[in-house]
Structure 1
């Protein structure tokens, strides 16, 4: 096996890997480039969006950041699964970001511009329906969602171990995904998981005893994600209980950094970024929020959660026309549910009225949404090609 990098050699290698991942496709570029999206939001066009009520938003609401999540009680639902960028902000930002992601995925599936326009119409319909008072997860799932839910509910610890750490033995084998730790990192991780609140994450599931002993078995630097490459990220393997009752669990420790998403001018949010992520998760995705702890690690804010076998990313690489409509409608309902549960009835009604204004003559979706997505698709396509020229070609 190729020699793995030392801790002081990580950063340039991680940034190079991130750049290559973003060069794989325009959709991958959109997923990994939150900063360009918010640069656009600060432009004149971005300022023209409607001002929705101040609620917690995802802040990076693309397709890959939604998917199945298991709650501590074992129930699996589709919710927002990545809250790194969450802030109290304008819900219109989540709508535009989701619309951009859907449009880019549609173009990658060779769907026509007419179909993409209809996708945005369905997205708005799904979002508005979530404000009807029925905030439950919709039952009529698109095929792509139904398949990932079936996979999620059937998965066990063995599947998670094979996917994440190759084997079910109590060790994290060093590989291209798991790199060696420094002595300082090993000590800091042991100190972190000695904290009662962090330790209790491992006993939070209903199948485990609250007073079961928790032992740190192994840990490694985790090369994972795209936008998080270059930040602190660790996989930590714990044992819960003893003897025949012993279970293993895999913890994800991730650095929390300042959000690129703009916050509402008068919003009061936790100043610590890890606390901000936890609070946003509790509001938007309770299944995730109840399994997440904010902590300090080596002078940085981090959030810690146990990875469950049912936690999966929603991957939609290709779509047929009918399926694209259902996906757009369904995912917008999930986002709408997360927004609507934070609003009272009067606020919901006022926001729906605002959404219904400025519809085009031929498009049953707000003109501000369509124009924003069209402009963003163009700027991101240009940015993607330039990104490939600058990074992908230079590594040949």
Structure 2
């Protein structure tokens, strides 16, 4: 019910003028130029200590794989170092305007996937660390990732500055655009790749347009059928997940018979309970599939060591597959600095954040809690393993390609923040000039320097034998 004071259920609704005043007032407290600053705090905790604390709750036999992947390059290290950067961001200037954060908004955590309407869309696609917090943190993680990726590709200082400033400008301009839009228009906005292809066609040569089309076509091919053909085969007349240890290990190869039976029972029960978090129509669809096989899977860089299962289900017949992923959800790395989640279940935290930030989410996205064979309760979220999923390989990009990708990321992040936070206040703070763009270009380079120092420390720790690494 709306009261005569313009509230809904007692919550105030400030006018656009009042919301803009909040953003403009923040400029006096936190000048936009102040975001250029980064220097390690005198009380900075050793990033390796943070990573090792994080590893204690993970599958210990997989932790060396994570270290090996992070050791490969500064960019690979950065992808796994969301926790150390969260601690660093907590000591940077913030306006006090909060949004739903991705929490790990580096450039490779944006990509292609299918909407429920079967459109190929571009959006944020990783939400393990999602939590409400300062909007600046996501933008800074994105900006630094572009600078680090540019360094890995050998781009010049000017080329990297061009790329980072373009991405931040895209975020700023789109936030300002969303600030002037109606609420429903913001909510329904999404990035269809067909529209992007037309939008950038005049900026790309014929060869690059073909390359973009191939990326889109490859993403459409990365579906349940493709994953089904790659990950499964016929063994003794039955469809099963094919072992590829240590990255994919079927449950039958993982544990002795008694423990295996207990774990399989718990995972089956988890799937049955998780169905209750789906919409009734999607729950009905899921009920038409039967569980056939399951395996442990190693995923990503930062997530290596978390408990992750792939589940093979079959529908009408042996050629009607559904592959879903059950992934452990830990406490967000932001929680220590931004506050705890309102959700008791960390899987629900991930799902709620994803649904809030994404324009279109997986129809099988849900959550549940399960008890392991060690007697410990753990939280999980569940989604399809692949649904037209595709990422873009920044390692083979030229500066112009990374600039366009950065601008798309800036748009997607602005749209996600506009759905959950005060877009008018953020837009008023950013303004129409490029002060914030220039500040974050400096921040990105400053943090890229820090990232290289941290990566070198990891390399030294592995080479000296202080930390065990396993190439896999």
Q: Using structure 2 for the length normalisation, give the TM-score.
A: 0.71
* Distance 1:211-1:157 versus aligned 2 partners, 3 A rule: closer
Pick from 144, 147, 152: which aligns with 2:219? 152
**2:331 matches 1:258:** yes
Alpha-carbon distance in 2 for matches of 1:338, 1:145? 24
Alpha-carbon distance in 1 for matches of 2:129, 2:162? 28
Alpha-carbon distance in 1 for matches of 2:351, 2:64? 30
Pick from 20, 45, 59: which aligns with 2:103? 59
SS of structure 2 residue aligned to 1:257? coil
Pick from 141, 147, 155: which aligns with 1:97? 141
Pick from 394, 398, 406: which aligns with 1:316? 394
**2:302 matches 1:223:** no
| Partner residue in 2 for 1:27 | 75
Alpha-carbon distance in 1 for matches of 2:222, 2:133? 35
Alpha-carbon distance in 1 for matches of 2:432, 2:340? 26
Deviation per residue, 1:323-362 (Å, 9 max, x gap): 222122121111111112334xxx32321221249955xx
Alpha-carbon distance in 1 for matches of 2:308, 2:459? 26
**2:385 matches 1:307:** yes
SS of structure 1 residue aligned to 2:312? strand
| Partner residue in 2 for 1:109 | 153
Kept after mapping to 2: 8 A contact 1:356/1:366: no
Kept after mapping to 1: 8 A contact 2:123/2:409: no
What is the deviation of 1:102? 0.5
SS of structure 2 residue aligned to 1:193? helix
Alpha-carbon distance in 2 for matches of 1:171, 1:39? 43
What is the deviation of 1:312? 2.3
Alpha-carbon distance in 1 for matches of 2:406, 2:345? 34
Kept after mapping to 1: 8 A contact 2:112/2:388: yes
Q: Where is the helix percentage greater, Structure 1 or Structure 2? A: 2
**2:348 matches 1:275:** yes
**Which consecutive unaligned segments of at least 5 residues does structure 1 have?**
1-9
**Which consecutive unaligned segments of at least 5 residues does structure 2 have?**
1-57, 179-185, 372-376
**2:116 matches 1:72:** yes
Structure 1 residues 1-396: aligned runs within 5 Å = 11-43=59-91, 46=92, 48-51=93-96, 53-131=97-175, 132-133=177-178, 135-137=189-191, 139=196, 140=199, 147-163=214-230, 165=231, 167=233, 170-176=239-245, 177-179=247-249, 180-182=253-255, 183=260, 184-195=262-273, 197=275, 204=282, 210=285, 213-241=288-316, 243=317, 247-262=320-335, 269-288=342-361, 290-298=363-371, 299-343=377-421, 347-356=422-431, 365-367=437-439, 369-391=440-462, 394=465
* Distance 1:211-1:378 versus aligned 2 partners, 3 A rule: closer
Kept after mapping to 1: 8 A contact 2:224/2:385: no
SS of structure 2 residue aligned to 1:353? helix
Deviates more, 1:154-163 or 1:294-303: 154-163
Kept after mapping to 1: 8 A contact 2:351/2:365: yes
* Distance 1:336-1:264 versus aligned 2 partners, 3 A rule: farther
Kept after mapping to 2: 8 A contact 1:202/1:306: no
Kept after mapping to 2: 8 A contact 1:72/1:291: no
SS of structure 2 residue aligned to 1:339? helix
What is the deviation of 1:63? 1.5
Deviation per residue, 1:54-90 (Å, 9 max, x gap): 2211000011211112123322211111100000111
* Distance 1:200-1:238 versus aligned 2 partners, 3 A rule: farther
Alpha-carbon distance in 1 for matches of 2:277, 2:102? 27
* Distance 1:69-1:315 versus aligned 2 partners, 3 A rule: same
What is the deviation of 1:42? 2.5
Which structure has the larger Rg over C-alpha atoms? 2
* Distance 1:267-1:391 versus aligned 2 partners, 3 A rule: closer
Alpha-carbon distance in 1 for matches of 2:280, 2:78? 34
Alpha-carbon distance in 1 for matches of 2:212, 2:361? 18
Q: Number of aligned residue pairs: give it.
A: 370
SS of structure 2 residue aligned to 1:310? coil
What is the deviation of 1:146? 5.0
* Distance 1:75-1:39 versus aligned 2 partners, 3 A rule: same
